[in-house]
Amino acid sequence: METRAKTVSKTPLLTGHSVEHKRAEIRAYFHQTFSLYESLFDCINSDQAYYLRAEPLRHPLIFYFGHTAVFFINKLLLGKYQTQRLNQRLESMFAIGVDEMSWDDLNSGHYDWPSVADTRAYRDQVRQVVDTLISEMPLTLPITQDSPAWIILMGIEHERIHLETSSVIMRMLPLEYLDAHPLWSACQDSGPAPENSLLSIPAGTVTLGKPATAHTYGWDNEYGQKTVTVGPFKVAKYLVCNGEFLSFVQAGGYQEPEWWSQEGQQWLAYTGATMPRFWQYRYGEYLQRNLLQEMPLPLDWPVEVNYLEAKAFCNWKARQTGTHVRLPTEAEWTVLRNQLDTDQPHWQTAPGNINLEHYASSCPVNRFEHNGISDVVGNVWQWTESPIDGFPGFEVHPLYDDFSTPTFDGRHNLFKGGSWISTGNEATRYARYAFRRHFFQHAGFRYLESNSAEVPVEPVNTYETDELVAQYLEFHYGDNYFDAPNYPKACVQTLLSHTSGLKRGRALDLGCSVGRASFELAIHFDHVDGIDFSARFIQHGFQLKETGHTRFAIPTEGELVEFKEVSLHQLGYGELADKIDFVQGDACNLKARFSGYDLVFCGNLIDRLYDPTLFLQQIHERLNAGGYLVLTSPYTWLEQYTPKEKWLGGIKVNGENVTTFDGLSAVLSQHFTLVAQQDVPFVIRETRRKFQHTLAEMTVWQLK
Amino acid sequence: METRAKTVSKTPLLTGHSVEHKRAEIRAYFHQTFSLYESLFDCINSDQAYYLRAEPLRHPLIFYFGHTAVFFINKLLLGKYQTQRLNQRLESMFAIGVDEMSWDDLNSGHYDWPSVADTRAYRDQVRQVVDTLISEMPLTLPITQDSPAWIILMGIEHERIHLETSSVIMRMLPLEYLDAHPLWSACQDSGPAPENSLLSIPAGTVTLGKPATAHTYGWDNEYGQKTVTVGPFKVAKYLVCNGEFLSFVQAGGYQEPEWWSQEGQQWLAYTGATMPRFWQYRYGEYLQRNLLQEMPLPLDWPVEVNYLEAKAFCNWKARQTGTHVRLPTEAEWTVLRNQLDTDQPHWQTAPGNINLEHYASSCPVNRFEHNGISDVVGNVWQWTESPIDGFPGFEVHPLYDDFSTPTFDGRHNLFKGGSWISTGNEATRYARYAFRRHFFQHAGFRYLESNSAEVPVEPVNTYETDELVAQYLEFHYGDNYFDAPNYPKACVQTLLSHTSGLKRGRALDLGCSVGRASFELAIHFDHVDGIDFSARFIQHGFQLKETGHTRFAIPTEGELVEFKEVSLHQLGYGELADKIDFVQGDACNLKARFSGYDLVFCGNLIDRLYDPTLFLQQIHERLNAGGYLVLTSPYTWLEQYTPKEKWLGGIKVNGENVTTFDGLSAVLSQHFTLVAQQDVPFVIRETRRKFQHTLAEMTVWQLK
């Protein structure tokens, strides 16, 4: 265990009293990480092995050997902390991994990889550059996300992630290419599978998310805050061990589609899997492949499977027991984690098989127990039912804007708790990593029994990337440009100034788009209906009402984007959601129940209707006596929305120019009196530099 | 002649000392015109005749009977001088004529025309409404284009035009439908054709265009000013009379394609014409159809033909004489007209068969002679070689924006001088009417002999209606919006402020579009080359340089447009044209001769190139030592212009965000030093209410 102790380190605190001590601590952490990473590759006894594609979904190990060094340089260049490339070719080849590929999306690229020696020489160069930078960089405490030390820590923690993922790939290399290594020795203990049992956990409330004030480095997806009410459940004492999982395998679990999700069945069909990835069955015996050697299947070690296999096991187990068996959600896992009141870097000794403090492999599932539950952290990662999502308040780090956001797609599930090789940030309570559900890591699972068949996960709040919808989200909820005030707010304020005696009962926001005016009207009215023709748009108003927040990505330049989040709370609409209904509907064919309004507001609607005259002829029926109709529009008629023969204006009629205002007046004058007419400007951002700047005309009409 | 005298009137002066006298004068002029028009229709003895389509390219006479009344109402409504329609149905049916149709574009619409009695009753209503309006309208003197009296005069003069065009249609009605009428009696005199002869006219200079200060009503196309140098020519003493034209007919002129233009041949093929439209050949005798009766072909009356026939005659005549025979241009006609020093409304008696002062028909061509030339004005209109165009300074009248502009298309030729039935504005010297070249009116021609085969007409300055090109013309030469200064000017001023020591020899404006920056640079440089990839755009820079002005129409709302004209003179570039060459070219493949520049300016070019890197790698070769490269761009990359793999930035490279500025710097740093970087805003108008508002980045690079 003496050699093992050398590998132990802890992620530095961002705080401290001495800048130079902190500088020294960071330098030590950097070199320790760089060396530890290289020591893993030292297990490889032949350069040839660096180029094998043991796993067709991943690059060969040579990529990962170079990648963690290149990452430092590329991020330092992006942050302008470094001005020169060291090696243009290597810094391009080693830049982009393929971790996120689907199993049916094989990478068939040909790579002319550099030699191991060249790569090692490059690593040495980088080590020197980073060392110098650490020595010379400006440093104040505490370290914040915009300081150069944060980028150094980002590079270090990034390398610690790849320490783990590279070790997974090495578990797939033929053993002949690997030698034993004193730092990387596996646990030697194994025995019969312990009998699993269930512990009752009472209902409670947990708060998820790493506080902005936390004192350790975190990845963007860890921050923000979300409070979740968790119902009571019964949880398995042990992670599912190889022995427990073997029953499923021997019961023909891999051959029975019933236990597998549709995605699981597709994966089975593609891989032909019949047992976990690191098992083998040879000469009547099950074996397990560890990092550097094989052993007879250790029945009391945790099984290592992907989410799809874990879920299939649960479904099978549920049938066996007649109960609702499933994986924990992120919140349920957190309830268990909260029973453990220590965390890296504060613990003296790891409270589980984690941080390389105990083994360079898994160990029996009954080795580390706390409050009756084993392996709350460590041993293997624990899959959850929760697709990864940003917490409310999530913000992308500008120098790594694709670390998390591409995984907020509902197809990446979180696992929690860390494995024996999870170190640094990975070994902290807030660490959240997510992979596609078919991916293998040093990951297994614990199951629970729920009162209900329902799995309490929320749909993922994906980033709206539809360019038009995202434009409108920014238009309604984003920044102001060219001094034009927020348009939906300005419209509501302006219309209120022109509608004396307006009753504040029911309001209709027709053509509500992504909904800002509906919220704004709800400040003043008892009830607001927001109606839009397009589900693509109105879903965001609906989502804001239901979940309190929504997200979108807007172009900055070319294909580059900026990520944005809005929340009702920040907008000051926290208490208004119950006053609003968002409904998909057709302004020209409104359902009868949409009537009895004191106000009908149509923002930028009239020139997007397929029959504006029909709409205007009927709308008076929806208003209460003395009610107001308010229209705003830039009168941008387009044949894609409105056939030319239906345009209200902007046309020649009987040879004479007719403006839209003329046309509006002609149709509305029967039932309405015009009480105000005013320009209201608005700006829609297309890119960081290009905007639509428009002057809408507001006309205010009172029912005669 | 007593009855004829009653028909004589004169267009009122816009000036005067007594408002009430002027009001009375206008009222009298209105009623006189309205009654005169009705008296023409009184010649029709059967309501049935109102519905015949004597001429398939025109509406039946019932349309024209109603149309001149409806015109008053529609224009008064448009001008907001009238708020209510009198009769929605009639005001729609009688609104739009088909005067401008081509012969192969027959109107096959079905019309449910109203009765003559209803139309007459409607006319009575209108007469009352207009009479009341004249009595009650605010009136100050002089009358200006924005006063209600102008609209009344517009309606009156419009009716006087249709007095003439309706009389042409009546000449096509079968005689059985027409009765003699004391007001509409033809000239009774005819005799042998006089021998024509040629008079020498010395070279000179004429100024065309009605001064803005003129004291009579004018149509928009009459205003503006153009000075033309006219070479010497010999002009025919007489209009070509029937006798002279008969030689051409009898020589087989209508059967010989050689004399006819391509357009003339197409017209011949379509109509099968063998002689002028109002001639007939029956029982061995040529006859002429006048307004209300036929007569044996009066050989000494002017022949009435369209432009195509007149031109064919000239071509035949040229061959006969071995000289350059053609029609006069507008300027040449004006030289002749300038010999007559009186004009309506100032003359006591018309100096020709015009203004209904003499006959309700043509008369012999030797009846009115002045300085040796007969029929300088009157008898029949005289076709010219000039397609109608607006003079520099032309402005559309906002209440009648399609009176002239649709005819500025190179397919409408002017005729001048007026006919026996030309009254009011038509009988003034500045009157200019144009019809398609195949159209018939009471129109004939006078020929001249020129020294040269060249016809001195300029290409028509058509309105640019291509939406994108027109947008750019407004962007470069039009109004400023949202306080953003003119962009090409601002670019030049800004780049001059950042280029100390810049030599002022040769400058290159690459991607010059419609050319404003080239003119602006020419203020400061000895020579400027303006190069653009698109001929659609650069043609306007070229046209400005060559002719001093260009025109375009920009959308206001929907399909409605606003007409604009720019001139070098107004822009202050009057003396710069010789310093600029505009050439179509490819920035990525510049011809060798484009080099030796002190400045290369690329305004909004870089993100529109198909290979921006190639361009940037080579451009240093075009600069003199110490020269500057100035780029401005909003970095709006679009795959329609630049394949994504060629984008300079706005992309991820090796997984990291690369901005366009990063990309520019990487390529240019070998040969250039960055000396300045600054935002420059610009606004492009799409409609009256919708704009693109953009922040370009200017980067200034000096050659190392």
Distance (Å) from the alpha carbon of B694 to chain A's nearest alpha carbon = 4
Q: What is the DSSP letter of B560?
A: E
- Are the CB atoms for A417 and A382 separated by under 8 Å? yes
B649 reaches A (C-beta below 8 A): yes
Task: Give the number of domains in chain A.
Answer: 3
CA distance B568 to A512: 48
B613-A71-A125 Cα angle (round to 5): 95
The reported pLDDT for the residue numbered B102 is: 44
Choosing from B400, B431, B452, the residue where a domain stops is B452
B558 reaches A (C-beta below 8 A): yes
CA distance A356 to B99: 93
Closest CA to A637 of B400, B468, B481, B689: B689
Closest CA to A683 of B38, B693, B495, B64: B693
CA-CA distances (angstroms) from residue B378 to A258, A279, B218, B361, B418?
A: 100, 110, 19, 11, 5
Give contacts of A 305-344 with B, CB under 8 A. Answer: none
The reported pLDDT for the residue numbered A5 is: 64
B652 and A696 in contact by Cβ < 8 A? no
- Helix or strand or coil: residue A194? coil
Residue B355 lies in a domain: yes
CA distance A443 to A446: 10
B694 and A697 in contact by Cβ < 8 A? no
Residue B321 predicted with pLDDT over 90: yes
A560 reaches B (C-beta below 8 A): yes
Instruction: Please list every residue in chain B whose beta carbon sits closer than 8 Å to the beta carbon of residue A608.
Output: none
A173 & A244 share domain: no
Q: Environment class of residue B127 by beta-carbon count within 10 Å: exposed (0-12), middle (13-18) or buried (19+)?
A: middle
Number of CB atoms found within 10 A of residue B496's CB: 18
Tokens of A531: 């109606």
Tokens of B346: 């100032």
Residue B457 lies in a domain: no
Residue B396 predicted with pLDDT over 70: yes
B637 and A557 in contact by Cβ < 8 A? yes
A687 and B636 in contact by Cβ < 8 A? yes
A166 & A202 share domain: no
Q: Write the pLDDT tens digit of every residue in B507-563.
A: 999 999 999 999 999 999 999 999 999 888 999 999 999 889 899 999 999 999 999
Residue B103 predicted with pLDDT over 50: no
Substitution target from A72, A654, A674, A684 for chain B, most B beta carbons within 10 A: A654
A695 and B689 in contact by Cβ < 8 A? yes
Q: Which residue in chain A has the smallest CA separation from B400?
A: A656
Q: Write the pLDDT tens digit of every residue in A189-218.
A: 999 999 999 999 999 999 999 999 999 999
Residue type, B375: D
B636 and A96 in contact by Cβ < 8 A? no
Closest CA to A395 of A647, A579, A224, A616: A224
Residue B166 lies in a domain: yes
Average pLDDT over residues B605-625: 96
B125 & B223 share domain: no
B562 reaches A (C-beta below 8 A): no
Residue B650 predicted with pLDDT over 90: yes
Instruction: Please list every residue in chain A whose beta carbon sits closer than 8 Å to the beta carbon of residue B634.
Output: 687, 689-690
- Helix or strand or coil: residue A530? strand
Give the CATH number of the domain where residue B361 resides.
3.90.1580.10
B46 & B156 share domain: yes
B543 & B503 share domain: yes
A243 & A210 share domain: yes
Q: Which residue in chain A has the smallest CA separation from B660?
A: A557
Residue B109 predicted with pLDDT over 80: no
Of A105-114, A359-368, A631-640, the poorest mean pLDDT is in A105-114
B358 & B477 share domain: no
B554 & B472 share domain: yes
Residue A4 predicted with pLDDT over 90: no
Choosing from B452, B472, B489, the residue where a domain stops is B452
Residue B98 predicted with pLDDT over 80: no
CA distance B372 to B612: 69
Instruction: Please list every residue in chain B whose beta carbon sits closer than 8 Å to the beta carbon of residue A631.
Output: none
Choosing from A388, A420, A452, the residue where a domain stops is A452
Q: Write the pLDDT tens digit of every residue in A462-495.
A: 778 888 999 999 999 999 999 999 999 999 999 9
A525 & A445 share domain: no
Cβ-based contacts under 8 A for chains A and B: 127
Substitution target from B657, B661, B664 for chain A, most A beta carbons within 10 A: B657
Distance (Å) from the alpha carbon of A467 to chain B's nearest alpha carbon = 14
A560 and B657 in contact by Cβ < 8 A? yes
The reported pLDDT for the residue numbered B402 is: 82
Residue A138 predicted with pLDDT over 70: yes
CA distance B280 to B295: 10
B162 & B209 share domain: no
A692 and B689 in contact by Cβ < 8 A? no
A694 reaches B (C-beta below 8 A): yes
Residue A593 predicted with pLDDT over 80: yes
B360 & B485 share domain: no
CA dihedral A121, A126, A132, A137 (to 10 degrees): 180
Instruction: Name the packing angle between helices A116-136 and A148-170 (round to 10°).
Output: 150
Alpha helices, DSSP H, located in B531-685: 535-547, 568-571, 612-618, 660-668
Give the CATH number of the domain where residue A565 resides.
3.40.50.150
CA atoms within 13 A on the CB side of A168: 24
- Are the CB atoms for B257 and B213 separated by under 8 Å? no
Number of CB atoms found within 10 A of residue B205's CB: 10
Instruction: Please list every residue in chain A whose beta carbon sits closer than 8 Å to the beta carbon of residue B651.
Output: 558-560
The reported pLDDT for the residue numbered B121 is: 97
Q: Write the pLDDT tens digit of every residue in B47-75.
A: 999 999 877 778 899 999 999 999 999 89
The terminus-to-terminus CA distance of chain A in angstroms comes to: 90
Instruction: Please list every residue in chain A whose beta carbon sits closer than 8 Å to the beta carbon of residue B556.
Output: 650
Residue type, A595: S
Q: Is the ipTM of this complex over 0.90?
A: no
B419 & B475 share domain: no
Alpha helices, DSSP H, located in A94-144: 116-136
What range does the domain containing B166 cover? 2-177
A559 reaches B (C-beta below 8 A): yes
- Are the CB atoms for B149 and B143 separated by under 8 Å? yes
Phi, psi dihedral angles at A673 (to 5 degrees): -115, 130
Q: Write the pLDDT tens digit of every residue in B180-226.
A: 999 999 999 999 999 999 999 999 999 999 999 999 999 999 999 99
A558 and B649 in contact by Cβ < 8 A? yes
- Are the CB atoms for B680 and B490 separated by under 8 Å? yes
Q: Which residue in chain B has the smallest CA separation from A659?
A: B557
CA distance A623 to A410: 43
B263 reaches A (C-beta below 8 A): no
Residue B192 lies in a domain: no
Map B611-637 to HEC letters.
CHHHHHHHHHHHEEEEEEEEEEECCCC
Instruction: Please list every residue in chain A whose beta carbon sits closer than 8 Å to the beta carbon of residue B91.
Output: 654
